[in-house]
């Protein structure tokens, strides 16, 4: 039981860190390339708690780490890596575009969907890397 709890904590931590490093890292590349106007690692406070936006995003990345890890945890080889990227890309992007954006009154267009798939796919890869690094511990 303790081993299982530790894996779930690692999955949350992996999702959190993957957001800060992989997701925001790809956003930084987009920003540096002039493809997006918003600077990554946004420290502006967001409601309701007033935490920095990037920390709020990383928290939700940690939450997403749990179901994604549950889905890929027994997969091996290319299935593991590709599964992490594909599930990481599709799940969070679909929820963002179909639920979060409409709730916030934001428009959804092809470039946002493609960008979401890319940054969230990178996030999934980051989660998979973290889980591999912590698997033997």
Q: Residues 95-119: pLDDT tens digits?
A: 999 999 999 999 999 999 999 999 9
The residue ranges of every structural domain in the chain are 2-135
Confidence of residue 3 (pLDDT cuts 50, 70, 90): low
Instruction: Please state the length of the chain.
Output: 137
> Quick one: pLDDT at residue 54?
98
pLDDT score recorded for residue 4: 86
- Beta carbons within 8 Å of 134's beta carbon, 6+ residues apart: 10, 14
Asked whether the beta carbons of 14 and 126 are under 8 A apart, the reply is yes
In angstroms, what CA-CA distances link 45 with 36, 97, 104?
A: 20, 22, 16
| Backbone angle region of 84, left / alpha / beta, with phi > 0 → left and psi within -120 to 50 → alpha | alpha
Is the pTM value of this prediction over 0.75?
Answer: yes
Query: Does pLDDT of 1 surpass 90?
Result: no
Report residue 126 as tokens: 């980051």
- Alpha carbon separation from 69 to 1, 42, 60, 101 (Å, rounded): 17, 26, 14, 25
**pLDDT exceeds cutoff 60 at 13:** yes
23-70 per-position pLDDT tens digit: 999 999 999 999 999 899 999 999 889 999 999 999 999 999 999 999
Q: What is residue 97's DSSP assignment?
A: I
Identify whether the C-beta of residue 62 lies closer than 8 Å to the C-beta of residue 16. yes
């Amino acid at each position: 039981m303790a081993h299982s709890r530790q894996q779930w904590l690692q999955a949350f931590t992996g999702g959190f860190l993957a957001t800060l490093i992989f997701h925001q890292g790809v956003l930084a590349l987009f920003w540096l390339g002039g493809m997006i106007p918003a600077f990554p690692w946004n420290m502006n406070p967001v409601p309701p708690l007033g935490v920095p936006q990037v920390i709020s995003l990383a928290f939700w990345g940690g939450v997403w780490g749990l179901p994604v890890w549950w889905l890929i945890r027994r997969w091996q080889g290319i299935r593991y890596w590709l599964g992490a990227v594909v599930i990481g890309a599709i799940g969070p992007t679909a929820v963002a575009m179909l639920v979060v954006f409409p709730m916030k009154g934001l428009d959804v267009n092809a470039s946002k969907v493609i960008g979401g798939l890319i940054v969230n796919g990178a996030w999934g890869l980051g989660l998979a890397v973290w889980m591999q690094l912590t698997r033997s511990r």
